[in-house]
Structure 1
Amino acid sequence: MAKILPFQGVRPTRDKVSLVSCRSFEDYTTVELAYLLDYNPFSFLHVLHPAYVNPQKVTSDKRFKMVAAKLKDFKKENILVKEEKPIFYLYQIQTKSHVFTGIIAGTTLEDYNDNVILKHEDTLEYRVKLFKEYLDFSKFNTEPVLMMYPDQEDINIWIDNFKQSRPIYDFSTVEKERHTLWKIDNDAEIEWLCSKFEQVDKMYIADGHHRFASANMLQQEDPENQRGHNNSVMTYLISENNIKIYEFNRIIHDLNNHTKEEFLELLNQKFLVENKEQQLWKPTQKMEFGMYLDGDFYALKLKEKKKTNDILQQLDAQILYDEVLHPILGLDDLRNDARIDYIPGNESIVTIKEMVDDGEYEVGFMLYPTNVEEIKKVADNNLIMPPKSTYIEPKFMNGLLIYEI
């Protein structure tokens, strides 16, 4: 049974929400950051990176303390306010092509450790430790873990009805996204939602594995909770039918000392290779791969489709690694090898063409997206997907809700 928790969120005042909320720090160019930090005193970027001018001169623990201090400043200046009692939120993100709607709530580390909450991605220890230190010093998080739950018709109906009420926020961003947030503060509705999720056997982390792992590490280091942490994590709960899964495409710097002709001949041993020339071709089904090489697009189709009960061996990302990236291009560690980079599938394949044409990369590969059932099978069997198998939307705005721990 899954347990969800209401919480006392800290959030911008209604008049400042569009000025406070921001994308992740890494999403901005240097010019964009400089402009926002110089001309928007309300941007939550001031909280997240108060030492942005000379970050290399500030130790991580000092920077995290500065983050905590800046959050207090925002609260003192009434840029941010705290709810009067623990509640839930309903949050909708409307992009150019999709509408995502889900419930923001706390989920427990107990469920995480008892495998009620399941994962499908590996984590990097140094990133987990770094974010654990951030949580310990700053005492808050503003980016919820994206969590999938099995589609529930009664919850869907409730959401549709609740959306008819007046939201506390409804604003658009320069990325042409519309963000709408409702407070769920009625005790009866909070209790009903808790009871509905108690009937859910499993939930799946879609995005945010490091955040959950960091909170868990912090709790394990302080089992008596002497530092006063809240042993739960802010989560954006969304029906598995409402998420959007993109592939991560691969671009490689070189052909591992093969000539173009040698490389194509090696591919021909395993694939039907069709030159699509200038057609912007992407795979349309599993076990197909697109390739861009030396000015031409290619369709690669496995000559013999794999017949195996091994869940990982059925994944296109694993097949590409087993048949091409490792044996032909000599790539071993897909997470750390400097010869390979990744382009999320929500970007046009023209991006791959341009990067290869510029000469920095020799070849690009386009994959067919993983689906929800594949993610669940991997998680249910306590397995880990190959690195960069999925790019999942929606993405949350920073500073929209703050979860104090």
Structure 2
Amino acid sequence: MPNIKPFRALRARDDLAHKICELPYDVVTTEEARRIARSNPVSFFHISKPEVDLPQDVDRFADDVYRKGAENFGRFLEEGLLVPDVGEYLYLYRLQVNQHSQTGIVAVASCEDYINGAIKKHEQTRPEYERDRARHIEALKAQTGPAYLFHRPVGHLQGIVDEWTRNWPDVDFITDDGVRHTVWTIGQPETIREIVRIFQRMDAVYIADGHHRTAAAVRVYREWGGAGGSGWFLGVFFPADQLKIYPYNRVVRDLNGLTQAEFFARLGYFAEVTPGVACEPVRKHQIMMYIGGKWYCLDIKPEVIQGRKPHEALDVALLQEHVLKPVLGITDPRTDPRISFIGGPASAQKVQALVDVGRYVCGFSLYPVSTSDIMAIADAGLIMPPKSTWFEPKLRDGLFIYSIE
């Protein structure tokens, strides 16, 4: 029974939202953000990645970084770049790119529901990144970007969304990556109450992206003892059938001392290997591999999959357990410098390009994980392997801010 509620948002000024709002803090490097912020004084990176306004050698976890974030946040408020709404509302947030469209409910959700499992996770968080966002929240006394969540589709809820989005939007702009961002405010009390009731009738909602944001908000809630608005965290909730999930592909620097022939011989225990044409697999349990200027199709053998738990049967897990670890010696993909990850649209083509220029010797193109996979794993209380999913289009930080004071 997930609990959501309306909130009084701080929002990027409508006419400047296209200049203020930025990609999530954790999908751009500090140098990329520094370059953008240098040429844009109203970029939200001045708040979400405040190290961009400090010397290049600064430790991004230093006290000065959080102080600078709070200082910049105050400046944006004073200059009217961020504007508080007059009341507590829900919002609709639509992202459109090419032929894809998804519309979610923007609300704050209960930290207690995260603790008791009504809001389910599928990813392990790293303590240092969790602490970083918790310190950022405490310094600003605000959550500056939403978590990205999803739920099983509900026809009645979709009907409300469809009806409401016939109205003129508050905000509508297109970012440099071609994504259209559109926002509507739901201020009608009865509609708000009905949406809240619909969520309360759901069995669960699921975190897609933003595990560290969510865990950080819960950490602050515990440290503050529930004071102020700390018992809630900011999120956008999409129906599962509208999400677009891309694979997180792998490239490796060497074959761990094996010749290509020896490597292929070892692969025979894992999959049927045949010459391939396409660079992307067409189904689950099929992996495309690029090596020596050619694509190969790896059809994972049934006996490799049989009897596996949901998280162990993911292609990314099978590849790690049967190829990357025992054959290529990559025990921990999170820390091994011999492996890199390429996610998002056209990532298979990027894999090929990186191998062709000699930066890597081999690449693997995976079939995307489904929302059904994620829900099955989260419902079982299990954790997916690192770098399993890439959700796109990305939400923009700065559109909605939740003050916990």
TM-score, normalised with respect to structure 2: 0.94
| Match in the other structure for 1:355 | 354
Shift of 1:272: 1.5
| Match in the other structure for 1:159 | 161
Shift of 1:190: 1.0
Q: Does 1:376 align with 2:378?
A: no
- Shift in alpha-carbon separation, 1:321–1:110, aligned structure 2, 3 A: same
| Match runs of 1:77-226 below 5 Å | 77-223=79-225, 225=227
Which one-letter code corresponds to 1:301 in the other structure? D
State the distance in 1 between where 2:86 and 2:348 align: 48
- Shift in alpha-carbon separation, 1:282–1:9, aligned structure 2, 3 A: same
Contact 1:61 1:137 in 2 (8 A): no
Shift of 1:244: 1.1
Contact 1:151 1:239 in 2 (8 A): yes
* Unmatched segments (≥5 aa) in structure 1: none
| Match in the other structure for 2:268 | 268
State the distance in 1 between where 2:229 and 2:103 align: 29
| Match in the other structure for 2:297 | 299
* Unmatched segments (≥5 aa) in structure 2: none
Q: Does 1:4 align with 2:12?
A: no
| Match in the other structure for 2:259 | 259
Contact 1:11 1:401 in 2 (8 A): yes
State the distance in 2 between where 1:270 and 1:187 align: 57
Contact 1:67 1:138 in 2 (8 A): yes
Contact 2:274 2:298 in 1 (8 A): yes
- Shift in alpha-carbon separation, 1:273–1:57, aligned structure 2, 3 A: closer
Residues 368-401 of structure 1: per-residue CA shift (max 9 Å, x gap): 1111111111111111011111112331112111
Which one-letter code corresponds to 1:400 in the other structure? L
| Match in the other structure for 2:280 | 282
Contact 1:243 1:394 in 2 (8 A): no
State the distance in 2 between where 1:205 and 1:255 align: 35
| Number of aligned residues | 401
Which one-letter code corresponds to 1:117 in the other structure? I
Contact 2:254 2:362 in 1 (8 A): yes
Contact 1:270 1:302 in 2 (8 A): yes
Shift of 1:185: 1.1
TM-score, normalised with respect to structure 1: 0.94
Shift of 1:55: 4.5
Contact 1:108 1:232 in 2 (8 A): yes
Q: Does 1:391 align with 2:393?
A: no
SS at match of 1:205: strand
Contact 1:17 1:400 in 2 (8 A): yes
State the distance in 1 between where 2:89 and 2:67 align: 28
SS at match of 1:299: strand
